[in-house]
Amino acid sequence: MNRLLLCAAGLALAAAPAAAQTIAIEGGDVYGAAGTPMRGATVLIQNGRITAVGVGIAVPAGARRVDARGKWVTPGLIESTSELGLREIGSLNETNDAEIRGVLERRETQDQVQAAFTVTEGLNPRSMVIPVNRILGVTTAVTRPTGSLISGQGAVIDLIGDRVEEMTVVSPVAMYASLSESVRGTVGGPRAAISMRLREVLEDARAYARNRAAFERGGTREFSISRLDLEAMQPVLAGRQPLVVEAHRASDIQLAIRIAQEYKLRLIITGGTEAWMVAGDLARARVPVIVKVLNNLPGSFESLGATYENAARLRRAGVPVAFTTGETWKAYNLRQEAGNAVAYGLPWEEAFRAVTLYPAQIWGIADRYGSLEPGKVANVVVWDGDPLEMLTNVNHVFIRGREVPLVSRETLLRDRYRNLDETRRTYP
């Protein structure tokens, strides 16, 4: 088993960026941004970027040619809610770098406001979970902190590289907060106590910004959060960094909108189980929603309105929507989320954009990600059919213009035990 783990670790390292190579993916049905394919087209990649997309493109001499005839060629999928690189095994706390509950307990406080926490400080590029997801078409992910009223700052990462700096696309990308039932025990009391505490943090951060000099000389009132947290909240108050709020109940979503309007915040809703009930409010406020499509049964009292039609109803109302699995170990089920949205009323093109272009727009990286266009980062996947169909296979994955091996610890285990007689001879 040790030999197997070392091999998998080596594969993670092998996916790190290396010398640039010119690659021509030829003859496939290329799905760019519009969702309408270009038949028999070529995607040309140079120096990690897409340089040309279309039919009849001249391929430079010496370029590596990838035959994609009869295949679908798409942008890599973008997972908008994960703990990739932060959590390895759910049942082992020592593999959890997405929250800092242990630190909080040492501080002897139950009031969890950790705005200064940035996930990239604990990101593990060699996580065994990363290859599991990228070989099934997920090339980019938002990895986020969890567990607090204000959990800290997330990051956008590409699933490639052996150093944090190599894989990071944007850090920090957003501040994460919650109005869901999961933080009631953190703050204590009813929902009104949660919103009251959130407003207190925002008021303190605003007062701190007006009185920095006085604060440094001890001339201000005592604030309810640390100086590091006060500083971390400044980009949120200035509108430079969005506040991502987990909220499921319709009334909680409306509350988040009111708070965002009061403090002039850029709001993103994640979860949004009952978002369809307040789609008009979200559309008028131009608030994007990150939804898990496969929510149909109420898991709690805040999700009694769960429905598979959530995404379709939101899009009909004009709400920007991106899909998420909410998973780390199975983020690759993102395409299943999109496929089920199609089954429940969302046009295929919209579902496709909800895992490619729309998340890129929501996270502010659409100038580089989310579609196959000249100048964009070459995160490209070649499929043997419709990527929103579960029986479709991945044939090639390119991240930043580098093809990554379709190998993970799971495929190594599968191959090791596929032929037991051979396994016994190899591993006596």
**Average pLDDT of the chain, as a whole number:** 89
Which of 347, 369, 391 is at the close of a domain?
369
- Cα atoms in the Cβ-side hemisphere of radius 13 Å centred on 424: 2
The verdict on 143 and 30 lying in the same domain is: no
* Number of domains into which the chain is organized: 2
| Contact of 397 with 139, CB cutoff 8 Å | yes
The structure tokens 């933080």 sit at 183
The verdict on 328 and 403 lying in the same domain is: no
Task: Please provide the distance, in angstroms rounded to a whole number, between the alpha carbons at the two ends of the chain.
Answer: 12
Nearest to residue 173, comparing CAs of 130, 139, 142? 142
Distance CA 288, CA 362 (A): 7
With left for phi above 0 and alpha for psi between -120 and 50, is residue 70 left, alpha or beta? left
Calculate the alpha carbon distances from 14 to 104, 112, 133 in Å: 37, 39, 16
- Residues 6-34 have pLDDT tens digits of 454 455 444 544 446 899 999 999 998 66
CATH number at residue 46: 2.30.40.10
% of residues, the chain, pLDDT over 90: 71
Q: Rounded to two decimals, what is the model's pTM?
A: 0.90
The pLDDT of residue 14 is 44
Nearest to residue 302, comparing CAs of 253, 268, 344, 243? 253
The verdict on 263 and 119 lying in the same domain is: yes
The structure tokens 């800092």 sit at 100
Which of 369, 399, 417 is at the close of a domain?
369
Nearest to residue 59, comparing CAs of 77, 75, 41? 41
Give the domain extent around 5. 1-75+370-428
- Residues 282-340 have pLDDT tens digits of 999 999 999 999 888 888 888 899 999 999 999 999 999 999 999 888 999 999 999 99
The verdict on 38 and 113 lying in the same domain is: no
The pLDDT of residue 215 is 86
The verdict on 237 and 376 lying in the same domain is: no
The verdict on 359 and 386 lying in the same domain is: no
The pLDDT of residue 419 is 75
The verdict on 338 and 377 lying in the same domain is: no
Can you tell me whether residue 75 is helix, strand or coil? Answer: strand
The verdict on 40 and 102 lying in the same domain is: no
The structure tokens 């100086």 sit at 227
- Residues 350-377 have pLDDT tens digits of 999 999 999 999 999 999 999 999 999 9
- Residues 46-80 have pLDDT tens digits of 999 999 999 999 999 999 999 999 999 999 999 99
The verdict on 256 and 212 lying in the same domain is: yes
Which of 322, 338, 369 is at the close of a domain?
369
The pLDDT of residue 350 is 96
Distance CA 406, CA 204 (A): 49
Q: What angle do CA 245, 330, 333 make, to 5 degrees?
A: 85
The DSSP element (H or E) to which 80 belongs, if any, is strand 77-82
The pLDDT of residue 101 is 54
- Band of pLDDT at residue 113, cut at 50, 70 and 90: very high
The pLDDT of residue 106 is 35
CATH number at residue 231: 3.20.20.140
Per-residue tokens: 108? 């002897």
Distance CA 305, CA 234 (A): 35
Partners of 26 in beta bridges: 42, 67
The verdict on 157 and 240 lying in the same domain is: yes
3-class SS letters over 45-84: EECCEEEEEECCCCCCCCCEEEECCCCEEEECEEEEEECC
Per-residue tokens: 207? 């007062």
Q: What angle do CA 112, 116, 119 make, to 5 degrees?
A: 95
Can you tell me whether residue 112 is helix, strand or coil? Answer: coil
| H helices present in 115-246, as ranges | 129-134, 164-167, 184-187, 191-210, 212-216, 227-232, 234-237
Q: What is the mean pLDDT of residues 383-408?
A: 96
The verdict on 337 and 264 lying in the same domain is: yes
- Residues 221-247 have pLDDT tens digits of 989 999 999 999 999 999 999 999 999
**Model confidence at 103: pLDDT above 90:** no
Helix axes 191-210, 250-263, angle to 10 degrees: 10
